[in-house]
Structure 1
Amino acid sequence: MRSAIRIFLAFTVLAVLIIEGLALMRSHSQDLPWAELDLAAPPGRFTAAKIAELGEDAPRCRALLAAAGNQSRPAPSRSEGESCGYEDGTRVSLGIAPSPGGLITSCPVAAALGVWERQVQAEALRLLGTGVSRFVHAGSYSCRRLYNRGDGPFSEHATADAVDILEFELADGRRISLLRDWNGAPADAAFLRAVRDAACPVFSTVLSPDYNEAHRDHLHFDTADRGRAGWRACR
């Protein structure tokens, strides 16, 4: 009799653990490597890797953008030799407007920006008491090598898989720039670091003024698929 009770209790505990585990997986699907990417959900452990993989499947990327309500739209492809150009160009359209307008990135970058901007708004309200109306950028596509060197690997900008952000304009008209405010007023500096940190779960590489002198005036985000090589950066 006691053995039967022990077996019953063991199965009961196991059933409860299974049920709780399934509920946890449903509520935190972005933390599961096999779960379908949802650009409308909060980012999880595998979101950046899943977004990077969209570079190999533009139709799927565009379908996920539409499912999440992202208004970014396809742009004409571009080609400049063997190492430069893109086929999944996407004209970025977000609640936080890019300035200047007409920003074209790869589809994964547009997807990552859409996830990231929600956290940007949350951090602005928390730290600055207002929302963000636009971000000032230095563009995405540029047919060049890393650090504009004459040789060596090409930059992720050469395929529009990167974007550089210089400044944020708040809804109340204030402007917060990386160059001026990274070490400026405490709230402004905290905001810039918060939006840098918020980019890390959705972009493969995030570089800021903390990384080196070359990034003293901007945040560099890219969605290069480096997951197989095991290399990512958030600095």
Structure 2
Amino acid sequence: MRRVHFILRRLVLLAALLACALMAYAFVRQRPQDLPWTELDLAQPVGMFTGRKLAALTDEPDRCRALLDRAGVPYAAMPPGGSGQCRYSDAVRLKPQEGSVLLSPASVAPSCPVVAALKLWEWHVVQPAAQETFGQAVKSISHFGSYSCRRLYGRADGDFSEHATADAIDISGFTLEDGRRISVAGDWNGEGKDVDFLRIVRKGACEFFATVLSPDYNAAHHDHFHLDQAERGAFGWRGCR
């Protein structure tokens, strides 16, 4: 029993030291967003715990929508839909905005945490990568949809996919301002700037989504990036392939 108490005291001390180290780091660099307990702000720079904070929004739809409002992101809140394991209640549809990337088709309505992550991905990864790689912005992002009442990999039994609650979206390609299209299916195994861009945005998505699956994962993802905001992401359990 004394050994157990000794181990527990060590763990508490370690946690306290870690918290102090994080606070010192954030204070010295003037980056409060690097602390796990500070409020998420979509308009502020990305921090060490931004991904976890985004995933935690799956249980706080009102706060998620408030964050979109505060960041100036126009959207329409959708009514709840589905039933049972396939029920969703926090879907939002992005409205067109000058200077912002369009989703194509525009009718898609993922959950609010997915939309919040998409906007951060757009601002901090997709557009900077497009400017650096092609010297122009991305005009639209194509997708295969978000909500779909199905189990993982289309199985007849087992766990339900994050698509079943609109907590996922499948990205298929990007269209640049000049009209040129980069697709996951056609360019992932290619050469040159297109494949470089796709790998940059795939890697960057891992900062904001709980799960990122690409053609490197399996044949089922040969033509898209699966991006989801599974609740486990709030605890740091992430997948990036």
Interval of TM-score (by shorter of Structure 1 and Structure 2):
0.7 to 0.9
SS at match of 2:189: coil
The number of residue pairs the alignment matches comes to 215
Matched, 1:208 2:230: no
Task: Please tell me whether the aligned partners of residues 48 and 223 of structure 1 are also in contact (alpha carbons under 8 angstroms).
Answer: no
TM-score of the pair, normalised by structure 1: 0.87
Alignment partner of 2:154 out of 145, 148, 156: 148
Q: Could you say what the CA RMSD is over the residues aligned between the two structures, in angstroms?
A: 1.7
Contact kept? 2:56, 2:234, Cα under 8 Å:
no
Partner of 1:136: 142
- Looking at structure 2, the residues matched to 169 and 162 of structure 1 have their Cα atoms a distance apart, in angstroms, of 21
Give the equivalent residue in structure 1 for 2:55.
52
CA contact (8 A) 1:92 1:105 kept: no
CA distance in 1, matches of 2:234, 2:175: 37
1:67 is displaced (CA, Å) by 0.7
Find the counterpart in structure 2 of residue 10 from structure 1: none
* Corresponding position of 2:13: none
Distance 2:49 2:88 in 1: 25
Is the aligned partner of 1:104 residue 2:109?
A: yes
Read off the aligned partner of 1:50 and give its amino acid letter: K
2:114 alignment partner, SS class: helix
Q: 1:19 to 1:161 in 2, by over 3 A?
A: closer
TM-score by length of 2: 0.85
Deviations along 1:109-148, whole A, 9 cap, x unmatched? 0110110101201100101111100011000000000011
Mapped to 2, the partners of 1:37 and 1:20 lie a distance apart of 18
Partner of 1:167: helix, strand, or coil?
Answer: strand
Q: Is 1:197 equivalent to 2:199 in the alignment?
A: no
Partner Cα separation in structure 2 for residue 51 and residue 186 of structure 1: 33
User: Match of 1:11?
Assistant: none
Q: 1:56 to 1:167 in 2, by over 3 A?
A: same
Please give the secondary structure, in 1, of the residue aligned with 2:145.
coil
How big is the shift at 1:229? 5.9
- Range moving further from structure 2, 205-214 or 71-80: 71-80
Contact in 2 for aligned 1:165/1:219 (Cα 8 Å): yes
Residue 231 of structure 1 deviates from its aligned partner by 2.3
Question: What 5-or-longer segments of structure 1 have no aligned partner?
Answer: 1-17
For structure 2, the residue ranges without an aligned partner over 5 or more in a row are 1-22
Q: Quick one: distance in 2 between partners of 1:220 and 1:41?
A: 26
Report SS of the residue matched to 1:78: coil
Distance, in Å, in 2 between the alignment partners of 1:19 and 1:192 is 36
Whether contact under 8 Å (1:43, 1:202) holds in the other structure is: no
**Counterpart in the other structure of 2:119:** 114
Question: Per the alignment, in what secondary structure is the counterpart of residue 60 of structure 1?
Answer: helix
Q: CA deviation at 1:73?
A: 2.4
- Structure 2 residue 186 is matched with structure 1 residue 180: yes
**Do 2:80 and 2:88's aligned partners in 1 also have CA atoms closer than 8 Å?**
yes
